[in-house]
Chains A and B, each alone.
Chain A
Amino acid sequence: MSAVEAVAPVRATSRPRRVVSTRFLRSELRLVFGRLRNLAVLAVLAGVPILIAVAVRLSSPDSGEGPAFLSSITDNGLFVSLAAMTVVLPLFLPLAVAVVSGDAVAGEANLGTLRYLLTVPVRRSRLLAVKYTAVVAFCFAATLVVGLVGAAIGLALFPAGPVTLLSGTTVGSAEASWRILLCALYIGACMAALGAVGMFVSTLTEYPVAAMASTAVLAVTSQVLDALPQLSAIHPYLLSHWWLAYGDLLRDPMSSTGPLHGLGSAAAYIAVFGALAWARFAGRDVSS
């Protein structure tokens, strides 16, 4: 090969040189995070901790009801983060991820821009990789938005006193902060697994709304099945089974068994559905 190029350098300039670059990924990130609909979804998610914090602030200090962590908010504002993440985890967050991941391929197919990306050319495996990376970025962004807005509004409205963990031990705000960040990252990873499922669904259709709805339905179905004790045999294999395991990160000493299982499950889902998406998309006729 090098001998040929030495003989005829003309070819080197006429045959286009491919370079490794992050331009396409950056463009994809701009597309996802610049899109009004996606920003609105993030804004709604950011609204949840604000709503919780204001509601707790306005109500009597010891109502003690509601989602986990709610009663601890008055001791330390950081708990707004955890309460908000717990509230958005079953539905809001999966919906947001379903919207973005379901749109990934089906959206471009529906617009017809997919055929122009492929003739640029963008290899189909690269397209999936870039699309999925942007989906993962959105998953973490969505989770972190809830967590960070929660922490900010919490610390603004409530004191930052000592935090009592689930196991009864008391730790300072700094320790609590990074544990909460760990929780957010764990939830982000769980959502990335859902994003892989959504991405696969997105390669099946040219209608983004169908892909989004199917992904959301899958996420909810998984939680419903997880709640049926008769099906306990399949529970560990369900997509959503380990989502709540982040609670283990708030014990003292911190337990990693649950979250590690969760990460393993997420990795398995990502591998399986990533492979399925590739198998489906690699040879598909793009005739939209």
Chain B
Amino acid sequence: MTATARAGSVAARSTDPARTGSGDAIRTEGRTKRFRSGQVAVDRIDLVVPRGSVYGFLGPNGSGKTTTIRMLLGLITPTAGSHSMLGEPMPRAAADVLPRVGALVEGPAFHPHLSGRRNLARLDAADRTSDPRTATTRIGTALERVGLTAAAGKRYRAYSLGMRQRLGIAAALLQPRDLLVLDEPTNGLDPQGTREVRGLVESLAHGGTTVLLSSHLLSEVDQVCTHVGVMHVGRLVSQGTIEDLRTAAVPRVHVRTSRPDDAAAVLRRLGVPAPTVHSGEVVADLGPFEPEALLRELVLADVPVREFRVDTADLEDVFVALTGEGFDVSG
């Protein structure tokens, strides 16, 4: 590392305590992973996770999210491309960067015969940057933050799925972190747990930690994320702020009426593309039309309109539009 590069990151950190806007927490260029089987699981992705953002990393099963995260953390060797984390080149600077990164990769993994607390103590002992004098307090705090204090002395073997997941999150919180990489953190959690994790992510983000969160729960992403990236068959098919993603989607009009077929006919006559009827409700893409004009035409055609609503597509629609309706995983 050159002195200037070092000085540059010093300035960035010290002038901006919230650590936002000073470069990107994660930046990949053309990162690719081809497994020995020949499969290209991640294909030339250019991920940009701005500092201070909560980045929702979406994609159907097998689309390459976990593989990307493994590459980011240096667990697997990328086939091509480059990436940096917290402004430093990876994997070269891993020893300096990773202590500031908390990670949960593809579910928790701990020694079954050790208690939750002992498992955390082991990870803490492995960390050359952690202070042994504060270990007990830090472990206690981490356990408390995920609501595991009561079960801390239990063997990991006896933990329920949600308790295991919580312990995994606690491990990521053993140190103050600049970046958290959480691969499906709410998998297996009860509604309270899900909500707590959401609150946790929000409070960490508020404190300046950047969070990369892979998830299948779109409502969760919708609620906490500022940025979204969508993977599909190894490609990053969309990336941007969550507002950008939403406005890119076409708004839709919903008409609730006792005569849906007539309403659909009116819309069709006006040129609205492909209105569909679902249980008394007509849904169609708004297209270039003014909602006011559509409503006036419906009323003039004597359609008894009970409810008329225009909404921007929710994240789920955007997601499906980007990644297809198919249920089968892309092998």
> What A residues does B123 contact at CB under 8 A?
116-117, 120
- In the complex, A11→B98 CA distance in Å? 16
Q: Is the CB of B110 within 8 A of A113?
A: yes
Chain A positions 46-79 with a Cβ under 8 Å from a chain B Cβ: none
Q: Does B9 contact A (CB under 8 A)?
A: yes
Q: Is the CB of A16 within 8 A of B100?
A: yes
Whole-angstrom distance between the Cβ of B6 and the nearest chain A Cβ: 5
Q: Is the CB of A1 within 8 A of B132?
A: no
Chain A positions 232-288 with a Cβ under 8 Å from a chain B Cβ: 283, 285-287
Q: Is the CB of B110 within 8 A of A111?
A: yes
> What B residues does A283 contact at CB under 8 A?
77
Whole-angstrom distance between the Cβ of A281 and the nearest chain B Cβ: 12
Whole-angstrom distance between the Cβ of A279 and the nearest chain B Cβ: 14
Whole-angstrom distance between the Cβ of A176 and the nearest chain B Cβ: 41
- In the complex, A115→B132 CA distance in Å? 22
Q: Is the CB of A287 within 8 A of B6?
A: no
Q: Is the CB of B13 within 8 A of A14?
A: yes
> What A residues does B103 contact at CB under 8 A?
116, 119
Q: Is the CB of B75 within 8 A of A10?
A: no
Q: Does A7 contact B (CB under 8 A)?
A: yes
Q: Is the CB of A286 within 8 A of B76?
A: yes
Count how many chain B residues have C-beta atoms less than 8 Å from C-beta atoms of the other chain: 42
- In the complex, A31→B127 CA distance in Å? 16
> What B residues does A112 contact at CB under 8 A?
106-107, 109
Q: Does B270 contact A (CB under 8 A)?
A: no
Q: Is the CB of B109 within 8 A of A118?
A: no
- In the complex, A130→B106 CA distance in Å? 26
Given contacts A111-B110, A118-B74, A286-B76, contact A4 B6 (CB under 8 A): yes
Q: Is the CB of B6 within 8 A of A11?
A: yes
Q: Does B195 contact A (CB under 8 A)?
A: no
Q: Is the CB of B94 within 8 A of A121?
A: yes
Count how many chain A residues have C-beta atoms less than 8 Å from C-beta atoms of the other chain: 38
Q: Is the CB of B95 within 8 A of A287?
A: no
Whole-angstrom distance between the Cβ of B156 and the nearest chain A Cβ: 10
> What A residues does B243 contact at CB under 8 A?
none
Given contacts A23-B125, A31-B122, contact A120 B6 (CB under 8 A): no
- In the complex, A1→B5 CA distance in Å? 11
Given contacts A24-B126, A121-B99, A123-B95, contact A287 B13 (CB under 8 A): no
Q: Is the CB of B121 within 8 A of A27?
A: yes
- Cβ contacts A113-135/B at 8 Å (1 or 0 each): 10111111111000000000000
- In the complex, A112→B104 CA distance in Å? 11
Chain A positions 16-41 with a Cβ under 8 Å from a chain B Cβ: 16-21, 23-24, 26-27, 31, 35-36
Given contacts A18-B129, A111-B109, A121-B95, contact A8 B73 (CB under 8 A): no
Q: Does B246 contact A (CB under 8 A)?
A: no
Q: Is the CB of A113 within 8 A of B7?
A: no
Q: Is the CB of A118 within 8 A of B10?
A: no
Given contacts A111-B110, A113-B109, A287-B70, contact A120 B126 (CB under 8 A): yes
Q: Which of A17, A113, A115 contacts B111 (CB 8 A)?
A: A113
- Cβ contacts B59-83/A at 8 Å (1 or 0 each): 0000000000010011111000000
Q: Is the CB of B125 within 8 A of A115?
A: no
Whole-angstrom distance between the Cβ of B88 and the nearest chain A Cβ: 10
Q: Does A3 contact B (CB under 8 A)?
A: yes
> What A residues does B9 contact at CB under 8 A?
11
A interface vs B, CB < 8 Å? 1, 3-4, 7-8, 10-11, 14-21, 23-24, 26-27, 31, 35-36, 111-113, 115-123, 283, 285-287
